[in-house]
Structure 1
Amino acid sequence: MKKVILLATIAAFSTAGAYAQKYEDIKGALALGQTDKAKEAFDKNSTNEKFFTKPEGHILKAAVFASLAVDSSKAAEAEKNRTEADAALAKYKEMEPDMKLLEDPMYKNAPYNLYAAYFNAGINDINSKAYEPAFEKFKKTVDYSELLIAKKIMNKQMDTAAVYYTGLLAENTKHEEDALKYYTRIADAKIKDYNGTSYESVYQGLVRHYATKNDNANFEKYKALGKELYPQSEFFTYSMLDFAVGSSSNFNERLASLEKLLAASPEDYKANITLAEIIYDTLDSRKEGAVMPGNAAELETKMLAALNKASSLKPEEMQPYLLLGDHYQLKAGNIRNEMVTAETEVTKKGAKATAADKQKVADIKKSYNEAYDIAKTNYEKAAEMFAKMPSLDATQKRTYRLIAGNIAEYYSYKIEDAKAADRDKFVALEKKWDDIFVKLR
């Protein structure tokens, strides 16, 4: 039994020695630049499965095929050779995780040639506008650059250009999370430019990404880095609100962005007032031919909630009161048109007017009075603020005058149905606001 074991051991050493020599033969041909000869020797010897019992068999295969992949005379076979080399190197790493054989100068060429092969192929794809395949190749390029840097084969901290182009390709091909990964590496290293290429778009992309995610911490982080590296750029002065409003010209998209922002920051005064303003511009548009949206009631509810929230957050701010006053003034005007139509119908019918006809008039008038009352209340709050200002510019004076005129008209209307005591009060208030209106002319 001992003799059998000894013979088996001797046979194993004999096989290992034989294949070690075959490895050296292939390596020798590669060292002399005789890639075809190395490939021929590899094809001859690798048919025996024992060739791959050692990790060296796989890295040797990677070295042969990687060398073929960068051979310009074999461009037609480049993709096949890259794939073979890539798979062989992956198998080698699986068998020898520390990749110690990369200390051998000849084997260092395997990952380096693969790096070059994927980079060049990626550039060719870019030139052909094949951006998705280019992205996949540049991902491999970055992976190999990291291996080369880790093994000190490439003397740099980061292959900046490769990382940048991979991020750019990821962004252009809608691989958002991949773009984020590559751009973050550049930004966290505070790299401003490389070989004359500015990387401002990297920082802009990160700021824009975190704005859409309502991630205020990272938004402020990369905005600050961008401001530090590109102090002349206006982009890095924009707020989260600016992105919510300016990211689209589409009303529904802007509304959705603002609602998302408010969900994260409900106490943000500017976000509340901006939400109210864009809805106001839609519901109470002065544009010719403007059409009331089908969900006007829903939008009005959102606008009023935002205005009431804004006024509670900053009661000293006038804008919520002005918008509330204008909205209810316009609303009252629309209801008044309905009221006039209903009253006209009752007048036409005369004695034939039914109790239901008269109740309809009464209900519309009640709605009109309620809207008009709210408009007046908010106008008075804004007017009180104007009255306390030490001086008014032309715009402020014009707005105050319009408000005074609207309030005077309100009390003129109230006089019509008022009883004696109330009538005198309303007459005095109408005169007060009419005097202010005249004074501001």
Structure 2
Amino acid sequence: MKKLFLIGVAVMSAAAGYAQKYDGIKAALLTNNLAEAHKAYDKESTNEKFFSKPEGYIIKTYLFAADALDSSKAADAEKNREEAFAAFSKYREMDPSMKDLDTYKNAPYQLYAAYFNSGVADINAKNYEAAYNKFKNVVDLSDVLIAKKINLPGPIDTNANYYAGILAETVKKTDEAAKYNTRLADLKVHEPKDSTIYQSLVRYYAAKNDDANFEKYKALGKELYPQSPFFSYNKLDFAIGGSSSFEEKVANLEKIVASTPDDYNANLALGEAIFEKLDRSKEGEAKPANYDELEGKMITALKKASSIKSSEIQPILLMGDHYMSKASSLEDAMRAAEKELDGKGAKATAADKQKYADAKKAYVDEYALAAENFEKAADMLSKVNPLDNVQKRQYYIIAGNLAQYYFFIGQDAKGADKAKYNALEKKYDSLYKSLK
């Protein structure tokens, strides 16, 4: 045990003795003699014992950060910045208290300046990914400088955090953007003509379906920017207007519906969004590959909306229009099969007849679903007095579709059914003519 103890003392003494090698470099740095400091560092740092203490790494940080700012060494600026940052990270790891910063305070500040300047240059060059990676380090370094009361006032570096937040959002790293924006917003940082950070947080938490934070930052934005209409929008507005694609819009609306299933407006908005995709697509636009899935989601949402507010006509009209659109697309196939069957006359085969029967059934089935919803809508409109121009036009179209439906199915009906359908056809035809 005694021998081991003596060896330990010897090693400690050697390390303590080696620490004296820092003094020459330190003296050169304190007089801003970087050339002399570099010369001493180049000599002493070849011995691995130089880095046995945290001071070795903060010295390296100091020298390489200074080199990164030296315009005569611009070609090596990036390498020097990275070397300096790696050394500073190691320094903090070895000594979390960073007590040597009392002596080497220029080390983190020069490194901060090197990253800040280079980050701004990247922004000007529209190299936003590189700029963001640099400003992450700028924020990190600024927190150290503020904590150690070195050249920066607190509580945070607003410029660094602002740039980091904007850049993170620009390169689609929204979670990271929220981190920087939250630091600023929680301090109520206020640029009179720029509510960007608050708008970003409101959109972020709307997409996350985080009601508490959504309301928190919307209220903050409203407080600081009372003239901006942005902070009067609700979560549904953001789900609809803030989505960059149909898929994103549906996903955002589904999140709201899932969290508030009895929200009429959310269910209606989801149904309307899908209706626009399925039934009002651009000319030549292909039917979505997941048409059946989307249709199921739409009908479920519209039926839910109708059950929540049974007095509202919009969900019923949309379902009627959807099934009418499907019926219209099937009518052409039915007419073609009928024409083919008539053309063959007595030569028509059983397969020809079945083809027409199947096409007709498909058409009638969809038309029946449309008629079911149109009759509900017609009943609701019959109780409105007076009708406004929009309601009158809706009633007119509904009556025409129902008259046509009952005329069509009445042709093949028999007995009591035929009388019933004929009566309904006359009822809606008269209504149609009266509204015209």
Alignment of structure 1 residues 8-407 onto 2, 5 Å? 16=16, 19-20=19-20, 22-102=21-101, 104=102, 106-153=103-150, 154-193=152-191, 198=194, 200-247=195-242, 250-252=245-247, 254-259=249-254, 261-263=256-258, 265-285=260-280, 292-293=287-288, 296-407=291-402
SS state at 2:270 partner: helix
> Retained in 2: the 8 A contact 1:276–1:302?
yes
- Cα-to-partner distance string for 1:32-56 (whole Å, 9 max, x where unaligned): 2222223333344445555544444
Instruction: Give 1:393's aligned amino acid.
Output: D
Offset at residue 146 of structure 1 (A): 0.7
Q: How many corresponding residue pairs?
A: 435
Alignment of structure 1 residues 402-413 onto 2, 5 Å? 402-413=397-408
- Cα-to-partner distance string for 1:76-104 (whole Å, 9 max, x where unaligned): 454454444434433433333222233x3
CA 309–44 in structure 1, closer or farther in 2 if over 3 Å, else same: same
Instruction: Give 2:153's aligned amino acid.
Output: N
Structure-1 separation of matches of 2:95 and 2:31: 27
RMSD value, Cα: 3.9
The structure with the larger Rg is 1
> Retained in 1: the 8 A contact 2:182–2:201?
yes
Instruction: Give 2:36's aligned amino acid.
Output: K
Structure-2 separation of matches of 1:30 and 1:254: 59
- TM-score, structure 2 length as denominator? 0.82
SS state at 1:190 partner: coil
> Retained in 1: the 8 A contact 2:18–2:50?
no
Gaps of 5+ in 1: none
Offset at residue 121 of structure 1 (A): 2.7
Structure-2 separation of matches of 1:170 and 1:40: 40
Offset at residue 161 of structure 1 (A): 0.3
CA 389–158 in structure 1, closer or farther in 2 if over 3 Å, else same: same
Structure-1 separation of matches of 2:428 and 2:303: 26
- Cα-to-partner distance string for 1:11-38 (whole Å, 9 max, x where unaligned): 9769847854x54443333222222223
Instruction: Give 1:162's aligned amino acid.
Output: A
> Retained in 1: the 8 A contact 2:15–2:52?
no
Instruction: Give 1:436's aligned amino acid.
Output: L
Structure-2 separation of matches of 1:279 and 1:422: 36
1:433 match = 428
> Retained in 1: the 8 A contact 2:203–2:242?
no
Structure-2 separation of matches of 1:439 and 1:356: 44
- TM-score, structure 1 length as denominator? 0.81
> Retained in 2: the 8 A contact 1:35–1:68?
no
Offset at residue 59 of structure 1 (A): 3.1
Structure-1 separation of matches of 2:419 and 2:336: 30
Instruction: Give 1:35's aligned amino acid.
Output: L
Offset at residue 252 of structure 1 (A): 4.8
- Cα-to-partner distance string for 1:222-266 (whole Å, 9 max, x where unaligned): 333333333333333444444444455754554455455545555
